[in-house]
């Protein structure tokens, strides 16, 4: 099993963030409609929230890992 924090996964997450992919489902629902049900919006918002939370966990792990590597380099030098 590959490391979920490897370079390609991180680049993929960052690119998706830059494209706004997380909002695609919301755009599809509201496109061409005058009204949208609260239940439908609530489901989409919950999915977006989950996606953003998972990305935050991913980026926090990476930040911690970078800090560890920087500390190791400082200790060596």
Whole-prediction pTM: 0.79
Q: How does pLDDT run across 12-64, given as a tens digit for each residue?
A: 999 999 999 999 999 999 998 999 999 999 999 999 999 999 999 999 999 99
Q: What pLDDT score does 5 carry?
A: 82
Q: What pLDDT score does 4 carry?
A: 81
Alpha helices in 1-77 (DSSP H): 7-19, 24-30, 38-76
Q: What pLDDT score does 42 carry?
A: 96
2 compared with 61, residue with greater pLDDT: 61
66: which 2 tokens? 């970078």
Q: What pLDDT score does 2 carry?
A: 75
The residue extents of the domains of the chain are 7-76
């Amino acid at each position: 099993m590959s490391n979920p924090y490897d370079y390609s996964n991180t680049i993929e997450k960052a690119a998706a963030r830059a494209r706004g992919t997380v909002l695609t489902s919301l755009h599809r629902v509201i496109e061409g409609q005058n009204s949208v049900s609260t239940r439908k919006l609530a489901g989409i918002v919950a999915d977006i929230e989950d996606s953003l939370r998972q990305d935050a966990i991913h980026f926090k792990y990476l930040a911690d890992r970078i800090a560890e590597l920087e500390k190791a380099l400082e200790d060596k030098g």
